[in-house]
Amino acid sequence: MADSDKEMSVVEHLAELRRVLVVSFIAIIVCAIGFFFAREFVLAVIKDPVTSLGHDLQFLGVTEPIMTFLRLSLFMGFVAALPIVLWQVWGFILPALKRDEKKYFTLFVVLSYLAFIVGICFAFFVVYRFGVAFLLRFAGDELIPMLTLGNYVSFTITFMLPFGLVFQLPLAAYLLSKLGIVSQRAMKKARKFALLVIVIISAMLTPADILTCLLLATPMYSLFELSIWIVGRVEKRKEKLREQAAREEEEDEA
């Protein structure tokens, strides 16, 4: 009877997981369709770093515009539907969490999305615009850039997405330190390894030039250092609470 209940529980979990995946997929597709109809506005914003300098985008293949619009719509649909996706994931793992973990994870879900949006906006409106402007002006007036629509949009998405993910690092570090999973000492020991991984990832996600690699790697490593500081503050706060609890216990015994 116990085996039957266990088997039924597994089946129910799989059914719930399927529901989470289906709802998340539908949410992304619906949002993507909405952005597809607003593709001209979205594209105007995306290519503003180029058009503001007096250049424009070209396309080489007949299918390049529609494939690019589909790719861009899916990316924007994912960003817009992320709160629904996170809510579905949260509802799926909620029963497995303890009371304290539920409190921290609820806060994490809300702040995680905000950090993702801030990361993407910072990447595009600060780092990306500066990088594109510098690289185009570096070519001089004699050279005319031939920027294709597909390559430009793909590069823009590839550049922004890591920032959205990396901006989760301080938040994740705070949550994991509150749960006692990571420590400042361990993160300090991992500095060299983290720097190496960040440089490798930046080199893979950017063109073969040192400037754009640094534009991506520098904020990423700065967020890692910020995470170390956050974990240290959490540990100091925990230590003060332990000392206060110890003093109160000694006073009660006295």
Tokens (6 digits) for 135: 């690289």
What is the rounded CA–CA span in Å between residue 68 and residue 152?
A: 10
Neighbours of 100 (CB within 10 A): 10
Question: In the predicted model, is pLDDT for residue 32 greater than 90?
Answer: yes
Query: What is the chain's mean pLDDT, rounded?
Result: 82
pLDDT tens digits, residue range 185-211?
A: 888 888 889 889 888 887 776 655 677
Question: In the predicted model, is pLDDT for residue 5 greater than 80?
Answer: no
CA atoms 192, 193, 195, 196: torsion sign = positive
What is the rounded CA–CA span in Å between residue 11 and residue 42?
A: 42
| HSE (side-chain half, CA atoms, 13 Å) at 7 | 4
**Which of 15-19, 55-59, 69-73, 208-212: highest mean pLDDT?**
69-73
pLDDT tens digits, residue range 68-110?
A: 999 999 999 999 998 888 888 777 776 666 666 666 677 777 8
118 and 166 Cβ atoms separated by less than 8 Å:
no
Indicate the domain borders of the chain: 1-135, 168-254
Triad 74, 160, 31: Cα angle to 5°: 25
The secondary structure of 184-234 as a DSSP string is: HHHHHHTHHHHHHHHHHHHHHHS-S-HHHHHHHHHHHHHHHHHHHHHHHHH
In sequence order, the β-bridge partners of residue 147 are: 57
Q: How far is CA 85 from CA 11, 23, 171, 203, in A?
A: 22, 8, 18, 30
Triad 166, 100, 82: Cα angle to 5°: 35
What is the rounded CA–CA span in Å between residue 120 and residue 118?
A: 6
Q: What is the pLDDT of residue 228?
A: 92
What is the rounded CA–CA span in Å between residue 233 and residue 177?
A: 10
214 and 129 Cβ atoms separated by less than 8 Å:
no
Q: What is the pLDDT of residue 149?
A: 92
Q: What is the rounded average pLDDT of the residues 177-183?
A: 81
DSSP reduced 3-state for 147? strand
Q: What is the pLDDT of residue 31?
A: 94
Q: What is the rounded average pLDDT of the residues 50-70?
A: 89
DSSP reduced 3-state for 140? coil
